[in-house]
A = this chain, B = another copy of it.
Amino acid sequence: MAKRRKVGNLLALSLLSLLAQQPMYPYEMAQTLRARGKDKNFKINWGSLYTVVNNLEKYGLIEEVGTVREGRQPERTTYQITAQGLAELKDWLSELLSVPEDENSAFVTALSEGGILSPDQVISLLTIRLATLDKDNADHQADLKLWTQRLPRILLLETEYQLAMRLAQATWVRGVLRELVEGTIDGIESWRQIHETGEMPPEFKELDEMSKRGWPEEPDDVK
């Protein structure tokens, strides 16, 4: 997050967006999100919901518009978005759309620590991943086709994006996997050796040393 938001949780963005359309009470927000299938992406956390609503109010982005007691159900507090809230929403959306984030997914971390496992293990794990990806993507694609028939595409961009990313991931994994299996990837023999002998081959030790001292003419990672 480039700029520091008063309420940083992404749930807040969804809530602001809902309230930009009509006033609601918290439980209703959760229902609406669920109805729109957003719960596929994030589990609804009741704790977070009420915390976020409170914070939004605290910072003046939404305001209480009255409490209703319908039937004999518990009292419900209805909120509406404020002018400030609308401004914040637009500003936030603008930032998120225009500034690519540095995503640090768990998979990336795992890849960089993958050397702990043996090459054969990694090959088999990635094979499982790839199978899951392919299966999910096929389902996802079929699903998207169905939706395309009843909704204008403009509303499905988010789904299309997710699918595109998943497909790209599958393609990448497939490529690496082939190289690993064929053993054409540079460094794999040393890696295999480490796991067979328990010994670190000299060229790796050297790398390790160097990483501590800093390389000669270090190529200073950009960004």
| Chain A contact residues: helix, strand, loop or mixed | helix
Q: Is the CB of A97 within 8 A of B125?
A: yes
A20 within 8 A of partner (CB):
yes
Interface string of A20-33 (1 = CB under 8 A from B): 10000000000010
Contact check, A20 vs B97: say whether CB atoms are below 8 A apart.
Answer: no
Provide the residues of chain B in CB contact with A10, threshold 8 Å.
104, 106, 109
Contact of A90 among B108, B109, B116, B191 (CB under 8 A): B116
Which chain B residues lie closer than 8 Å to A162 at the CB level? Answer: 108
Cα A117 to Cα B13 in complex, Å, equals 13
Q: Given A126-B97, A185-B154, A223 and B40 touching (CB < 8 A)?
A: yes
A4 at the interface (CB under 8 A from B): no
Is A98 in contact with chain B by the CB < 8 A criterion? yes
CA distance in complex: A214, B125 (Å) = 39
* Nearest CB in chain B: distance from A128 CB, A: 4
Q: Which residues of B contact A75 (CB under 8 A)?
A: none
Contacts of A37 in B (CB 8 A): 221
Q: Is the beta-carbon distance between B97 and A129 smaller than 8 angstroms?
A: yes
| CB-contacts of A92-136 with B (<8 A) | 93-94, 96-117, 121-122, 125-126, 128-129, 132-133, 136
* A101:B90 contact, CB within 8 angstroms: no
- Whether the pair A100, B17 counts as a contact (CB closer than 8 A) is no
Q: Quick one: CB contact mask for A193-223 with B, threshold 8 Å, 1 for yes? A: 0000000000000010001101100010111
A172 CB-CB contact with B under 8 Å: yes
The answer to whether B110 touches A100, judged by C-beta atoms less than 8 angstroms apart, is no
Is A41 in contact with chain B by the CB < 8 A criterion? Answer: yes
**Bound state CA distance, A123 and B188, in angstroms?**
45
| Chain B residues within 8 Å of A98, by CB | 125-126, 128-129, 132
A100 to B: closest C-beta gap in Å: 5
Chain B, Cβ-Cβ closest to A166: B100
Can you offer 12 A-B residue contacts whose CB atoms are under 8 A? A13-B110, A94-B117, A97-B114, A98-B126, A100-B132, A108-B162, A115-B155, A152-B186, A152-B190, A157-B176, A167-B168, A168-B168
